[in-house]
Amino acid sequence: MSPKKCIFGCEGKLNLFALPKEERIRQQWIQYLFSDQRPPKATVYVCSRHFSEDSFVNKAQYDAGFSARLLLKDGALPFIHGDVEESKAAASPVLLPLTRFRNTACQTDPEPKVSVATQFCHYMVSVGTQTSYSPSTRCAATQLSYNTLKQHVRSKATQASVSHCNVGTVTTQSETGIQPGVRPAKRPRLEMKEEEEGEEPEEETDLPEASDQYDPICEPYEPDESSSEPPDSREAEATPSHYNDPKYIVFESCLRDLFLTCPVCGLSCEVRRGRMGTFVYFSQLCPSCDYSRKWESQPVAGSTPLGNLQMSAAIYFTGGSFSQVEKVCRAMNLQVFQSDTFRRHARMFLEPAINHKWKRDQQVLMERLRGEGSVAVGGRMRADLLGHCGKLGSYTLMHLNSSSVIDIQLIQSAGVSGSSHVETEALRRGLDLLQVNRLSVDHIVTDRRTRVQKYLRERNVCHYYNIQHLEKGLSRKLKKLAKSKECLLVRRWLPSIRNHVYWSATTSTSAPEKVAKWKSLVNHIQNVHTHDDPLFPTCAHPNRVSVDPSKWFQPDSVALHKLKKLLLNKRILADVGKLSHDHQASSLERFHRLVCHFAPKNVAFPFVGVLCRLYLAAMHFNEDAERHKERSSEVTAETQQSEPKPKYVSELMKLLFEEVFKEPSTYVDELKRIPVPADLSPV
């Protein structure tokens, strides 16, 4: 097989180019090389000595030793006939720009559009003169950005850098902003296990669960089209600011299509993939022209992909369950990290951020309430964890005028005398906190628990009872009484008796008047509207004659006797006199229903985990209360199209990435100051 030779007989180690495959450009080559002569039937080669310097894509890289062979531009034409040495003198007048052949050969052919994604960096060294160099371009069928297609080349034999000598010269910087002869700083190495082509996906290799070392914060590799400086040479920013970028679900096959072919020579490339949770990277290497690059799906700070951390934060901050999210991801084969990574993120970053934000918001709320003078608060106990086992108990203090949670105390039963003392201890801590912050309590509305009554009486705090608590307890007893055969009439009177509880409390302020109105219920059920009590001698409504006497209780009947014994009980009368006539604790009921979303009782969380989830529920509830207050004060005819994004989640994300992730030790120390009792064995 004869060796390839230039058609003009040039000798030496040269780059040879065959006739192009595109018919129009091929005919231009033939017409220019052979004029009116018939071209030979054998394959024709033309060496690089018969082309101008601007006919090549990678002339600068080839001269610097970074490319093994020269690559022609699309549409490049040879310009020198015969021997090169003989044509040197006539080279200048023979030089014809590419546009001349384009205009003469095809008048209707427009200038080809050049994609910015096909521009590559060139090193230009100027010695003795001031030189500017315009990088070569070509059109390629790709949608990759300019920085993504930046060329990274390697040397097969050695690792060499281009020396730069500046001797009385002015060297212009290339479009990529790379200083000639200045080696860019290395990007921090990401520790992960790479997955070879054709292998099954492996589990991510994130940091071990036992590791408590915080990763140093450094700028991740994130291509930025607005910056002319390469990612490796940019100084590391102190704050990762990419958490607000939009995210998308991308299929792996679509990603691989971007790296299968070399954007320089168009040949097949070697592609390797690595994964760590939601993070994936692709390494591309062209065996022909040594083009290489590495693409990463998300910024990496230290060894922590920001997408993994933000996904953990989104699950935690919204009260979600990682196990449920993991099931959804596994169902659609969406890659996700393991539960150990989620717990490590929570312990190192998320819980310190939640604790800090709640303490800060709590101080702002107390300062605002301090200007209003004395406040009316409501208190409610909730048993947490594993179905009312009494292991943990939380007590909530709420400002009743604004329906805002002021404080939440979490108590473990082992830290007090027993589970029956959890409520009084939590209430004591909450009132002490209000006192330390110079917030005076006008009165408090709670349930009718005996220990709480005694404690507030000893502390000299005005105490009222929640009407709903009395109504629910009384309704249970009435339903039990209505099951007997002789008391079936009680079932018909249940709604009226429940309404009478609210009417007796809310229409009177003094305790004797509340009791007098409550006693009038016994006369109502007998169709008697005059009373023996001087404070309430007669009913305000007109007396109506009933046509159905069977719906009234008959005097001296068994049903009336049992009902009077229940309604006129000494304990019931005392509690009716202390019912709250102004504020009710219905907002506390709504808050406890919300807590079931953030901290469900059928899931076992650690002590700090329960506390942080209670704080999240309080921030969510206070934000909703403030939003409803703003809506009620604004009169508008426009309807609300969609529920706005929770503001507290956005603020937590900003705090996490701009403060906590930057210096986590300060916030972790703040969280560690919370006294955590020893863990109990599960019941």
Over residues 105-115, the pLDDT tens digits come to: 333 333 333 33
pLDDT for 217 beyond 70 = no
* Tokens encoding 332: 């659609």
Domain-embedded: residue 523: yes
Domain-embedded: residue 563: yes
274 & 231 share domain: yes
For residue 632, the model assigns a pLDDT of 58
CB-neighbour burial class of residue 445 (10 A; exposed 0-12, middle 13-18, buried 19+): buried
pLDDT for 303 beyond 80 = yes
183 & 275 share domain: yes
For residue 279, the model assigns a pLDDT of 95
State whether the Cα torsion 471-473-476-481 is positive or negative.
Answer: negative
Q: What is the mean pLDDT of the chain?
A: 74
8 Å CB contact between 621 and 592: no
Which of these ranges, 117-121, 421-425, 576-580, 604-608, has the smallest mean pLDDT?
117-121
667 & 545 share domain: no
Please state, in angstroms and as integers, the Cα–Cα distance from residue 368 to each residue in 77, 261, 361, 364, 378, following that order: 79, 63, 11, 6, 18
Among 112, 142, 159, identify where a domain stops: 112
Q: Name the most confidently modeled range: 90-99, 202-211, 457-466.
A: 457-466
Domain-embedded: residue 204: yes
The Cα–Cα gap between 424 and 445 comes to: 14
Among 531, 560, 577, identify where a domain stops: 577
The Cα–Cα gap between 449 and 429 comes to: 18
pLDDT band at 510 (very low <50, low <70, confident <90, very high): confident
388 & 529 share domain: no
pLDDT for 90 beyond 50 = no
User: For the chain, what is the radius of gyration of the CA atoms?
Assistant: 41
Q: Which domain holds residue 281?
A: 133-316+329-335
Which H/E stretch holds residue 571? helix 570-577
pLDDT for 343 beyond 70 = yes
Phi, psi of 217 (to 5 degrees): -90, 125
175 & 292 share domain: yes
Return the bridge partners of 130, or none.
Answer: 170
The residues, ordered by sequence, that sit 6+ positions from 242 with a Cβ below 8 Å of its Cβ are 220, 222, 298, 299, 306
Helix (H, G, I), strand (E, B) or coil at 324: helix
pLDDT for 187 beyond 50 = no
Domain-embedded: residue 645: no
pLDDT band at 433 (very low <50, low <70, confident <90, very high): very high
Which H/E stretch holds residue 291? strand 291-296
For residue 544, the model assigns a pLDDT of 65
For residue 120, the model assigns a pLDDT of 33
Q: Name the most confidently modeled range: 134-148, 201-215, 504-518, 545-559.
A: 504-518
For residue 582, the model assigns a pLDDT of 83
Among 335, 365, 395, identify where a domain stops: 335
The Cα–Cα gap between 321 and 266 comes to: 47
pLDDT for 672 beyond 60 = yes
530 & 426 share domain: no
Domain-embedded: residue 120: no
* Tokens encoding 165: 């000598």
Which of these ranges, 35-49, 79-93, 312-326, has the smallest mean pLDDT?
79-93
For residue 409, the model assigns a pLDDT of 94
Sheet strand arrangement including 404-412: 404-412, 392-399, 375-384, 441-446, 463-465
For residue 388, the model assigns a pLDDT of 45
| Mean pLDDT, residues 148-157 | 42
For residue 49, the model assigns a pLDDT of 84
454 & 476 share domain: no
**For the chain, what is the domain count?**
4
Instruction: Please tell me the pTM assigned to this model.
Output: 0.65
* Tokens encoding 616: 């999240």
298 & 274 share domain: yes
Domain-embedded: residue 128: no
The Cα–Cα gap between 263 and 144 comes to: 10
664 & 525 share domain: no
For residue 633, the model assigns a pLDDT of 55
- Report the amino acid identity of residue 631: R
For residue 242, the model assigns a pLDDT of 76
The Cα–Cα gap between 677 and 683 comes to: 17
Which of these ranges, 249-253, 272-276, 409-413, 653-657, has the smallest mean pLDDT?
409-413
Q: Residue 418 belongs to a domain with what CATH number?
A: 3.30.420
Domain-embedded: residue 74: yes
517 & 619 share domain: no
DSSP 286: -
353 & 396 share domain: yes
- Report the amino acid identity of residue 93: P
**If you search the block for the tokens 């010269």, which residue do you land on?**
169
Q: Nearest Cα to 81, choosing from 101, 68, 95, 71?
A: 95
66 & 151 share domain: no
pLDDT band at 406 (very low <50, low <70, confident <90, very high): very high
Which of these ranges, 286-300, 375-389, 486-500, has the smallest mean pLDDT?
375-389
DSSP secondary structure, 600-634, as one string = -TTS---HHHHHHHHHHHHHHHHHHHHHHHHHHH-
| Mean pLDDT, residues 464-493 | 88
**If you search the block for the tokens 């610097």, which residue do you land on?**
64
Domain-embedded: residue 683: no
Percent of the chain with pLDDT over 70: 68
| Length of the chain, in residues | 683
